[in-house]
A and B are shown apart, each in its own frame.
Chain A
Amino acid sequence: MKRSHYERLRGSTSLTARIAAAGLLLFSLITLLLIPNIMLSSVKTKSDLINNTMGFPRSFTLENYRTVFVEDHFFRYMFNSVILSVMALASLLLIASMTAYGLSRYKFKGNNFLQVYFLLGLMFPIQLGILPIFIIIRSLGLINSLWGMILIYTANLSLPVFIFSRFFRSLPRALYESARIDGAGEFRIYAQIMVPISKPVFATVGIINFVTIWNDFFMPLVFLTGKQVRTLTLGIYQYMNNFLANWHLVFAAVTAALIPVFILFFLFTSQLVEGLTAGAVKE
């Protein structure tokens, strides 16, 4: 058995492990008390919430959700977030996989340079250039437009290209050769053979970037100042500025923003982990 050494180690550290587990349990309680509490609080009435902040709801109301979504435009924000995340993701996946395919399938002069070039974004996050980006986007007339945001998210290519490249390089060359013999064009080989077999990588890159884009705060803060284009994270932020007045409503807004990522989290934990650790350990 490959992992027998740990079987042996486990016995020898059992006391330490138990103490550690107790510590971890304490730590987990923070998360486990807070998150469900927020969700439960979202259905409390305002007076129940004030007297009974941490307890189980004594009242049940969907009025908070109605106010948040209908009167305070969270339908709009939710819609913006969904559209932005989906479109930006689609465009990022297409461009990143094509770039990575070009880099890993063909040999040409400058290939090594380009590979390193595309990695630079891992060192120098996109926020560093935000001011010139702002000026470009403004001159394109795309401030307060989801299209501008899609461009910026799509440009953030370093990690996606890296993950895709690693996968494409691992594919046997014969796969590609046999498609060529069939007379398929280069783009058809990519679209009809390579993309279908790379579904797991698309899932990995897709899920990690979906969460990043869905949760992003900085870019919307800078580029989406109009009320019509606000995303969920911005909407929640505006709510918090008027915290005491909206106190009972924030819980509903936060719950609405949490549920989609939690669903993804529980469905795709392993892809998320894969995306997080991509490139971390070289075999």
Chain B
Amino acid sequence: MTLNKRPWVGFILPGFILYTAFMILPLFTAVYYSFFKWSGLGPKIWIGLDNYKSLFQDERLSSIFRNAIGNNFKFVICALMVIMPIQLFLAYLIDLKIVFYRFFQTVIFLPYVISTTIVGFISMLVFDPNIGVINEFFKWIGWNHLISAWFGDPDRAFTLLMMVIAWQGCAAGMFIFLSNFKAIPAELIEASLMDGASKRQRFRHIILPALEPAFANNIILGTIWGLTQFDIPFVIGGTQGGIDNSIDFMNLFFYRFAFGGGYYGETSMGFGAAISVVLFMIILVIAVIQVKFFNRFNRE
């Protein structure tokens, strides 16, 4: 029996088959579907690169596409430039054990286990123009000029969305920084105290470099987080991604073509596949750059 000689095959095979069939192969078969005009049922019609051409050249579709991908990149930039420093700062405070740090840690973490539909409900509760708590509050104290449509206002929707998402999700990155803080050898910091380094010098030259693994992870997670955003914008803004597509993202754009139907008349799986292939390519390029940069797998 080969299994007796190679016991690992029996252990790995079920996982390997499932993982390959549902995680890895679909990334590539999507490329195949993207060459067809196909509603998902009935015959597939080979149209070569036409789906990609419409994605990049069709006036209406390409502008939706550019808006959506633009929002994804805006999200990534926000995640890395705004949310990540906040996560670092929060982790720093908790590591310093400021007053009530356990309490804060718990409260920051709590929204993380709430499902995204409930987060959508909570943001409605707060920001709904008619019944939302915020507008009620402004009415109550008489600051009527601050009353706003919130998510109904295309200029505000994106910022608000980022705040909601940061409120829900910032704990993950914070804990990654925190566990890295705990792994910094105390001698390193003791030594810098002996040498009389200032607080700023110590942070810049001792702590920051030691946090490289956490940065590497959070940059990768933050990028993927931003590029694959779906739930909260969908729950808050609907399939179209809010008023004037202000909170539209690639995955929403994909969803309404591949499954959503209705909005643009017909369901088009081929076009949906083309969208997901473009997203896959973008993530692939970024992943290659990041792996090269951080050499993530080699340090294992």
A217 contact from B106, B116, B125, Cβ within 8 A: B116
> Provided the pairs A24-B93, A31-B107, A132-B29 are in contact, do residues A119 and B297 lie with their beta carbons within 8 angstroms?
yes
> Provided the pairs A131-B33, A277-B179 are in contact, do residues A187 and B235 lie with their beta carbons within 8 angstroms?
no
A95 contact from B6, B14, B126, Cβ within 8 A: B14
Q: Which residue of B lies closest to A34 (CB)?
A: B122
Q: Interface code B92-136, partner A: CB below 8 Å = 1, 0 otherwise?
A: 010111111001101111110111111011101110000101001
Given A2-B186, A31-B167, A128-B26, output 9 extra A-B contacts at Cβ < 8 Å: A31-B110, A35-B110, A105-B8, A106-B11, A124-B23, A155-B22, A157-B19, A233-B117, A277-B179
Establish whether residues B99 and A18, one from each chain, have CB atoms under 8 Å apart when the complex forms: yes
Task: Report if B79 contacts A (CB, 8 A).
Answer: no
Task: Report if B231 contacts A (CB, 8 A).
Answer: yes
> Provided the pairs A35-B110, A98-B14, A281-B183 are in contact, do residues A240 and B283 lie with their beta carbons within 8 angstroms?
no
Considering the chains assembled together, what is the distance between the CA atoms of A32 and B252 in angstroms? 31
Task: Report if A28 contacts B (CB, 8 A).
Answer: yes
Which 6 pairs between the two chains have the least Cβ-Cβ distance?
A129-B26, A102-B11, A99-B15, A155-B22, A215-B115, A132-B26
Q: Which residue of A lies closest to B7 (CB)?
A: A186
Residues in B with CB closer than 8 Å to A32 are 107
B299 contact from A27, A114, A154, A282, Cβ within 8 A: A282
Q: Which residue of B lies closest to A106 (CB)?
A: B8
Q: Interface code A173-215, partner B: CB below 8 Å = 1, 0 otherwise?
A: 0000000000000110010000000000000000000010011
Residue numbers of B with Cβ under 8 A of A are: 6-12, 14-16, 18-19, 21-27, 29-30, 33, 40, 89-90, 93, 95-100, 103-104, 106-111, 113-118, 120-122, 124-126, 131, 133, 136, 167, 171-172, 175-176, 178-180, 183, 186, 189-190, 193, 199, 213-214, 217, 220, 224, 228, 230-231, 234-235, 251, 255, 258-259, 269, 272-273, 276, 279-280, 283-284, 287, 297, 299-300
Instruction: List 11 interface pairs A-B (beta carbons < 8 Å), by A numbering.
Output: A17-B93, A124-B280, A126-B22, A131-B33, A131-B258, A132-B26, A134-B258, A187-B7, A254-B121, A279-B217, A282-B299
Q: Which residue of B lies closest to A189 (CB)?
A: B7
- B196 nearest CB across to chain A (Å): 13
Residues in B with CB closer than 8 Å to A130 are 26, 258, 276
Residues in B with CB closer than 8 Å to A83 are none
A-side interface mostly: helix
- B11 nearest CB across to chain A (Å): 3
Establish whether residues A99 and B16, one from each chain, have CB atoms under 8 Å apart when the complex forms: yes
Considering the chains assembled together, what is the distance between the CA atoms of A116 and B11 in angstroms? 17
Establish whether residues A236 and B121, one from each chain, have CB atoms under 8 Å apart when the complex forms: yes
- Among A20, A129, A276, A283, find the residue whose CB has the most chain B CB atoms closer than 10 A: A129
Considering the chains assembled together, what is the distance between the CA atoms of A95 and B16 in angstroms? 9
- A113 nearest CB across to chain B (Å): 11
Residue numbers of A with Cβ under 8 A of B are: 2-6, 8-10, 12-13, 17-18, 20-21, 24-25, 27-28, 30-32, 34-35, 38, 53-54, 95-96, 98-99, 101-103, 105-106, 108, 114-121, 123-136, 151-152, 154-158, 161, 186-187, 190, 211, 214-218, 222, 232-234, 236-237, 240, 243, 247, 250, 254, 257-258, 261-262, 264-265, 269, 272-273, 276-277, 279-283
> Provided the pairs A12-B199, A127-B251, A273-B175 are in contact, do residues A237 and B107 lie with their beta carbons within 8 angstroms?
no
- B243 nearest CB across to chain A (Å): 17
Q: Which residue of B lies closest to A28 (CB)?
A: B107
Establish whether residues A250 and B15, one from each chain, have CB atoms under 8 Å apart when the complex forms: no
- A273 nearest CB across to chain B (Å): 5
B113 contact from A105, A128, A152, A265, Cβ within 8 A: A265
Considering the chains assembled together, what is the distance between the CA atoms of A108 and B258 in angstroms? 42
